[in-house]
Amino acid sequence: MTNNRGVAYMGPGHTEVQEIPYPTFELMDGPGVNPANVGRALPHAAILKVVTTNICGSDQHMVRGRTTAPEGLILGHEITGEVVECGPGVEFIKEGDLCSVPFNIACGRCRNCKEGKTGICLNVNPDRPGSAYGYVDMGGWVGGQAEYVLVPYADWNLLKFPDKDRAMEKILDLTMLSDIFPTGFHGAVSAGVGVGSTVYVAGAGPVGLAAAASAQLLGAAVVVVGDLNEERLAQARSFGCETVDVSKGDVGDQLEQLLGVPEVDCGVDAVGFEARGHGSEAATEHPAAVLNSLMEITRAGGGLGIPGLYVTGDPGGVDEAAQVGSLSLRLGLGWAKSHYFVTGQCPVMKYHRGLMMAILNDKVQIAKAVNATKVSLDEAPQAYQEFDAGVAKKYVIDPHGMVA
């Protein structure tokens, strides 16, 4: 049998590369696997040789110990790979196909999947709607920061690239289709970004940069990115965004200096529950700071797209309320301004084919926007440490040395 290795979460601040079982067409017991999923037969699955798999900010929340993730969990939900074996129930996907794997695991059969809401599939996670590879409370599907990974419901989930050689030439861009590019795009679309919009994106990490690039692709007139990290703000400026340093004062005042008015048409939260305060409070954690700020600076009648992660269990939360995901939101302000909010996992399949075509036809350079940086599987633990320190990079793991 072929060997396999993967990146495991081993406690707060600690990851390591381990020998792990090669995938089979049955979901086996292991760290984080829901007991109701153990032994689940997967004739509809495919085994992929992982070509690229990325480190995500959502992974970092777990590695910091800010979730209830169990030790030993194999990480990784951003996966691109080559099909090496298909189960007997796979009809259309073939061995040798190079495919993007949506981070949402979806059955394609339930009501939500049929309505295009693949982020909240009803059949793959016994605990609640929605699932993902290598993620806490998501059913226990093994993560893809590994050499090989199993993808269930392969005919439904996999996005096959039309030309393998052409795809490999743009693999650092196409690897972003599994999560952050559609997620950033979803945040921009959900916020109502269109031609001529002014947009504020909170957070200059990879998802925020992807949201900013998406807003440009959608025709925004001005995209402003806010963060505390100057290196990441410089990365946003590198592809034409305006920036504000939220540690230097009120966001509305800084927007007025840039735009002539202290508000924008559309707001995107690409930070999530580990948000820090603004101005003099920038050194401390304030979980609702970004959402409340967005309600202050988004015009009446505007929208808020919220791709940033919020959780129901945060052992490191600043108080008992935050530890169960309860935040002190100024909902009255949002109500008074007739804001609308869109939250939750991005339904990747809603967007990924169109974004693939934009990449293949040179309409967007998402790898450049997020500063995609290749590392080996053995270098992944160090990359996690550097990412946690705030480097302006999107780490792409290349387990088999296939990326030029």
Q: Which of 319, 343, 367 is the C-terminal boundary of a domain? A: 343
Q: Is residue 301 part of a domain?
A: yes
- Banded model confidence at residue 281, pLDDT cuts 50, 70, 90: confident
Query: Residues 55-81: what's their mean pLDDT?
Result: 95
Q: What is the pLDDT of residues 230-251, one digit of tens each?
A: 999 999 999 999 999 999 999 9
CB 285 within 8 A of CB 321: no
Q: Is residue 403 part of a domain?
A: no
Q: Is residue 21 part of a domain?
A: yes
Residues 185 and 263 grouped into a single domain: yes
Residues 110 and 166 grouped into a single domain: yes
Residues 166 and 195 grouped into a single domain: no
- Banded model confidence at residue 136, pLDDT cuts 50, 70, 90: very high
Question: Per-residue pLDDT for 1 more than 80?
Answer: no
* Distance of alpha carbon 102 from alpha carbon 153, whole angstroms: 12
Residue 263 corresponds to which tokens in the numbers above? 């508000």
Q: What is the pLDDT of residues 371-404, one digit of tens each?
A: 999 999 999 999 999 999 999 999 999 999 999 8
Which amino acid appears at position 343 of this protein? T
Residue 335 corresponds to which tokens in the numbers above? 């109500």
- Banded model confidence at residue 199, pLDDT cuts 50, 70, 90: very high
Residues 264 and 229 grouped into a single domain: yes
Query: Residues 113-117: what's their mean pLDDT?
Result: 97
| CATH, residue 242 | 3.40.50.720
pTM above 0.85, yes or no: yes
Query: Residues 307-330: what's their mean pLDDT?
Result: 90
Tell me the pLDDT of the chain averaged across its residues: 96
CB within 8 Å of 56: residues ≥ 6 apart: 77, 78, 179, 180, 206
- Banded model confidence at residue 279, pLDDT cuts 50, 70, 90: confident
Residues 174 and 311 grouped into a single domain: no
The structural domain count of the chain equals: 2
| CATH, residue 393 | 3.90.180.10
Query: Residues 18-47: what's their mean pLDDT?
Result: 95
Residues 171 and 119 grouped into a single domain: yes
| DSSP assignment string, 25-93 | SEE---TT--GGGTTEE-TT-EEEEEEEEE--HHHHHHHTT-S-PPTTPBP--EEEEEEEEE-TT--S-
* Distance of alpha carbon 304 from alpha carbon 307, whole angstroms: 10
Which amino acid appears at position 126 of this protein? P
Q: Which domain holds residue 99?
A: 5-179+347-397
* Distance of alpha carbon 45 from alpha carbon 153, whole angstroms: 5
Q: Is residue 296 part of a domain?
A: yes
